[in-house]
Structure 1
């Protein structure tokens, strides 16, 4: 199907992106230097609102404490296209050596949400400055607390879509495994589900010299961890994707004492809702068996998780075809697999037809990856993303 974006509109988008790219990079660096954790992005939210005020765009702020939702051309025709950018940082001490490194001790934009915020502001700017060339409608959502704190769910609970609900949502994440100037996509799963869990193993404390008079939760924990790892190896089909990780174990205070309890914390990640459910059931079943075998009491608690991020095929095709027209076939990469990382964009994509992109951001001066203390990105990703997403928003909003 031919693009609905005219050559003239496309040229205008390119011109606007060229005009604002330097400012967007400055914004990204300022946010990088002043990172804030989830639900505490007070300065970040204020900067977003100040920018939108100068742009002359209507918005709601204070959604889920620090979230912002801006409306572009709300009286326009066509479908309402939502664009989501996350704004929070991580509790990581920065060791990047950047001139604009974090000034907030122990807090760092190690996942590139500073760039995501700049991209969302850029998309809002392009759609606003297109004027009459954008006849559709858009909502740009600046979401707090993506990093495991439930920011998307909190915005939904706080009524971000109560007045106007997007017909389509577009999401994106920078991707250090692809070079700047490229776009990545996957036809099925973009990001995995994530389900955190806590396990408490209760035993009976005693002297290490008399184990028969105790019930040892450490031995039980060892067996439980080992058997849990067999779930993926022996219960999940080899061509399906699943990971079970135990990331934290606590128990005991002395080398010669058997403790009363051991606690474990972990997470399940899958690309399938069926595998997700089956893996939870398997952990509970194994825990029951280990408890019987070791005479312990084991409690498994699954905390609120997030689902799989999947793109709707027809929306994804429109976005990918548009990106190919803009960037060239060689710069739009079909990824061989989805990520086992999670993204709470799933809260939107599970409710609204959506598409999600990976934005090539591989740093040219360092070996790094998301959530590393030396993280940086190729800032070309900002202009590339703004251009692609703005085009897609125009096409999707004005399409039938």
Structure 2
């Protein structure tokens, strides 16, 4: 049996090293090299450069053709860290504010443990280290680069730390667990001019103000009352002088949904409102609507299995509702059955949330995450008579 306790101190040190040297999406060259070196040192087969900077470690044991994939994301965020930690980011404007350094450490620990003791495994485990999760579609890039053709996965799982849950608590749910993330960017164009003679202009700022008000009626009046959906306007830009009505203004924001039919209805209604703005204010409008992350939808059997397995590792609970935040593991779950799992890491009162400059991954949950990875692999690849 592998001495998991002996793995923990080196994993903490590795996590701190990655934290101190964060890299943004598709630029995780040092991180990928550290991962690849650790996998080789454990005796695993290693493949690099998948979908850009992605790494896959492969463990074969036994004669079964069954396979399972375990994914960790490895990119950082474009945020300045304010933790004051001794291992704080050495790179200004780049910070592991979402805990991907911890995800890497947990999955590497599981790979090391299984390589040292593959008992209970009959099949193949693919350890997937994914780049560019933070809004750049690294999962999609790996899939388009042949991830599942080269490394077949009958099931695929991913863990993500969750500060809102107590440390060590494991949660997931059947169906939607994270939202679809759409981006919209609307450019309004008219005839600008002097603010003292507005009748000679087509006022793009007045049009933008009316547009923002109308967009905020869509969820309340056009989405079913039972639907979980969010539309948030997050940017308004236009003008540069107090006495000039600008000829161009911009409105942008995000839409979060869990049901494709609701997603379709929101975009349809947005286009109708924009057409009305064009007619009512005599401006032209251009909508760029980008469905850049689908909803993260757990396979029912995989999620139920994950809850059963989680109870053997720690405190397991069924998540009562999905989160409106998004995750590009959704692309992997569109391609293969599997489940996305939250691992609680909250400690004390009001722990900093994800994407906060004071956030840090809780090293106390490394062992729980490592053991959960092991249990998921051993459950799916258990020898069959």
TM-score range relative to shorter protein: over 0.9
Counterparts of 1:376-387 in structure 2, within 5 Å, are 376-387=360-371
Q: Do the aligned residues in 2 keep the contact of 1:180 with 1:379 (CA within 8 Å)?
A: no
Match of 2:146 in 1: 159
> What TM-score do you get using the length of structure 1 for normalisation?
0.93
Equivalent position SS for 1:398: coil
Match of 1:139 in 2: 126
Q: Deviations over 1:233-255 (max 9, x none)?
A: 11112221111112122111111
Q: Deviations over 1:22-64 (max 9, x none)?
A: 2111111111111100001111011001101111111110112
Match of 1:220 in 2: 207
Counterparts of 1:150-299 in structure 2, within 5 Å, are 150-299=137-286
Distance 2:349 2:320 in 1: 25
Q: Deviations over 1:167-206 (max 9, x none)?
A: 1110111000011111111233110001112111111110
Equivalent position SS for 1:269: strand
Match of 2:31 in 1: 44
Question: How large is the RMSD of aligned CA atoms in angstroms?
Answer: 1.6
Cα distance change on mapping 1:399 and 1:316 into 2, 3 Å:
farther
Cα distance change on mapping 1:247 and 1:76 into 2, 3 Å:
farther
Distance 2:101 2:146 in 1: 25
Q: CA deviation at 1:394?
A: 1.2
Query: What is the count of residue pairs matched by the alignment?
Result: 384
Q: Do the aligned residues in 2 keep the contact of 1:72 with 1:138 (CA within 8 Å)?
A: yes
Match of 2:40 in 1: 53
Q: CA deviation at 1:345?
A: 0.2
Matched, 1:353 2:337: yes
Distance 2:349 2:32 in 1: 30
Cα distance change on mapping 1:293 and 1:16 into 2, 3 Å:
farther
Unpaired stretches in structure 2, ≥5 consecutive residues: none
Unpaired stretches in structure 1, ≥5 consecutive residues: 1-11
Distance 2:3 2:207 in 1: 62
Q: Do the aligned residues in 2 keep the contact of 1:206 with 1:258 (CA within 8 Å)?
A: yes
Distance 1:171 1:108 in 2: 21
Q: Do the aligned residues in 1 keep the contact of 2:353 with 2:359 (CA within 8 Å)?
A: yes
Distance 2:54 2:361 in 1: 24
Q: Do the aligned residues in 2 keep the contact of 1:73 with 1:128 (CA within 8 Å)?
A: no
Q: Give the alignment partner of residue 356 of structure 2, picking from 350, 359, 372.
A: 372
